[in-house]
Structure 1
Amino acid sequence: MITVLALAAYAVLVGVILPYALSGARWTHRAPTAAVLAWQGLTLTFVVATALAVYHLVLAEQHVHDGIVGLLSTCGLAADAPPGDSPAGPADIGLLLAPATIVLLPLGWLAATVWQARRERRRHAGLLAVIGAEAADYGATVVDHEVPAVYCLPGRAHRVVVTRGALDLLTDEQLRAVLAHEHAHLRGRHHLVQIAAKAFARAFPGLPLARRAQEQTALLLEMIADDRALRSHSRDALATAMCEVAAGRAPSSALGAGGGGALIRLRRILTPEARPRRMTWAGVLLASVTAPFLPLLVAC
């Protein structure tokens, strides 16, 4: 029972308490890539800790396990199980469905979210093939729409979309800066990270970690794309372009230059802060990688 309580407390810490602390940390906006890894590490840690807590809870009274070796024995995978032990019956195997559900639930939602996103992208790509016109100078698809908007459609047939309103409103420098932002999304495959965060939020609705991980991941991915665009374009060009296209809304399957948290991003671009030290980055990376393994040590 002590193991169950320890694992449950760890799951509560990761799923309820740490999300508020991480979302309020100042260093995350100075190192968005490390912050995204931290959120991913928390989500994986929560799944592992919760699954192990449920496993120990439902099997502790059945006397069919002895730590990790017992789990393998119940599954018929342990080679050194005592010869006198009887094989696990259907009831024992059925008990494993409870912890397995904790793992399979986010995986199932991940598959469903991927399928839904691909379907929406294919539908939107078909629409762009009819109403869009290619602009070779900018490597983008132009849509005849008066609201200024710039967004990218990820996937195999990825493309950057610009409305006629954005072309008329933005200068050449502003347009190329915001296009660099969108190409950074495509090169970094940011849509995959966003889909994973969305699937976790669907699997555990109401969980503070799920809600804040989805919100913060979307904002941090925009900051990462901003930083990539700033490598070759001025801060003024990107900031003014963001202001002009902030009103434009991208489709749900795309990533828009306006995006969420536009005011936060504008302040970050115009008043940059020093990046965290390498030791801080390394510490966040180490913690994100090792945190999911701590519940396994407790279980063992």
Structure 2
Amino acid sequence: MIPAAALLVGAVVIGWWSPRALSRLAATGTGPGTVIAWWLLAAAGVVAGAFGSVLLLVLPGHGPAGAVLRVLHDCWSTAGHDGFPALDPIAGLGSAAVLGAAAVRLARHSLARRRRRNVLHRRHLTALRLSGDQRPLPTLWLPDDEPIAYSLGGRRPLVVASTGLADRLTEQELRAVLEHERAHVRGHHHLLTGCAEVLGRTLRFVPLMRELPAAMRLLVELAADRTAAARCGTAPLRSALLRVRAADGPRRALAMAGGDTAIRLHHLDATAEPRFTAGVKAVAGGIAALLAPPAVAVALVVGSGLIACP
């Protein structure tokens, strides 16, 4: 029972205390793609840690945890697995019930979000078929005086813009805005923000999950800005952000107006990291974030064993 409890404590520690550290990463100049990976892998580590702790409780003999307990049993016999035999089935049953409820809630939110997204997508695709644009990533132009720019993901992704947006921007600025929206589609940002929103709604009581959707929406905007600036130049994108406050798109879309404009403008001036350095940081930091809960659990088990042993 002790390894399972330690793993659960590790998930709790990371779930409650990691958002503050992760929120500071973007301000240090770390690339948005790297920070996205760290946020998502930290969330995955917390979910996996909680699931693993329940699994250790319900497995016969607690699986591999039994070997750990046998090694350290003499050091904490009063607090070990055999000291409280009646607690195991109670804790296992209660944890399995909580995990099952969370799984049902996760599935329900996922299905509801997918249903709403499909309805929105079908409406746009109907209008797109009337326009006759059959490109792999088409642009649907709306006859609207308001400046509108957003993108929709899925199997048939598309970019939506308005004639009012084109009237307010120069050709270079419009190209930068459209490239920003295409970067959302190519980077699968709709999928990433969708997963973050589902986790945030399902596990809202965990601070990491509660802050994940807002953080992900800002980070994908920063990532799309960086891609658009690399393709079209920083100046056109900056002037487009300053000249036009594009109207928000539908709830399931990623709009040009998303995120904090002041933060986005600040990050446009930041020097991009070399691709190799960014890749190494993303992989190393992502692995550390994913394995943080079991690392805390191991530290707790080993530390308590060293304290208890003479």
TM-score (structure 2 length as normaliser): 0.75
Q: Displacement, 1:282? A: 3.9
1:68 aligned to which of 35, 48, 63: 63
Give 2:194's aligned residue. 195
Query: Using a 3 Å threshold, how does the CA distance of structure 1 residues 295 and 114 change in structure 2: closer, same or farther?
Result: farther
Q: Displacement, 1:237? A: 0.0
Partner Cα separation in structure 1 for residue 286 and residue 41 of structure 2? 9
Give 2:288's aligned residue. 287
The residue type paired with residue 41 of structure 1 is: L
Give 1:35's aligned residue. 35
Q: Displacement, 1:157? A: 2.8
Which deviates further from its counterpart, 187-196 or 27-36?
27-36
User: Which segments of 5 or more consecutive residues in structure 1 lack a partner in the other structure?
Assistant: 72-90
Contact 1:37 1:288 in 2 (8 A): no
1:275 aligned to which of 273, 276, 279: 273
Q: Displacement, 1:150? A: 1.2
The residue type paired with residue 245 of structure 2 is: A
Structure 1 residues 168-227: Cα deviation after superposition (integer angstroms, max 9, x where no partner): 100000001111111111112211111100100110124211121111111111111111
The residue type paired with residue 261 of structure 2 is: A
Which deviates further from its counterpart, 7-16 or 23-32?
23-32
Give 2:122's aligned residue. 122
Partner Cα separation in structure 2 for residue 135 and residue 283 of structure 1? 41
Give 1:46's aligned residue. 46
Query: Using a 3 Å threshold, how does the CA distance of structure 1 residues 93 and 220 change in structure 2: closer, same or farther?
Result: closer
Contact 1:32 1:220 in 2 (8 A): yes
User: Which segments of 5 or more consecutive residues in structure 2 lack a partner in the other structure?
Assistant: 67-89, 302-310
Structure 1 residues 253-280: Cα deviation after superposition (integer angstroms, max 9, x where no partner): 21112211222111111x2135274553
Identical-residue share of aligned pairs (%):
28
Aligned length: 272
Q: Displacement, 1:103? A: 4.5
Query: Using a 3 Å threshold, how does the CA distance of structure 1 residues 176 and 114 change in structure 2: closer, same or farther?
Result: same
Partner Cα separation in structure 2 for residue 56 and residue 69 of structure 1? 8
Give 1:110's aligned residue. 110
Superposition map of 1:136-285 within 5 A: 140-269=139-268, 271-275=269-273, 277-278=277-278, 279-285=280-286
Give 2:306's aligned residue. none
Contact 2:45 2:291 in 1 (8 A): no
TM-score (structure 1 length as normaliser): 0.77
Q: Displacement, 1:2? A: 2.8
Q: Displacement, 1:289? A: 4.6
Query: Using a 3 Å threshold, how does the CA distance of structure 1 residues 207 and 123 change in structure 2: closer, same or farther?
Result: farther
Contact 1:15 1:208 in 2 (8 A): yes
Which protein has the bigger helix share?
Answer: 2
Q: Displacement, 1:24? A: 2.0
Q: Displacement, 1:295? A: 8.1
Partner Cα separation in structure 2 for residue 244 and residue 134 of structure 1? 29
Query: Using a 3 Å threshold, how does the CA distance of structure 1 residues 6 and 135 change in structure 2: closer, same or farther?
Result: closer
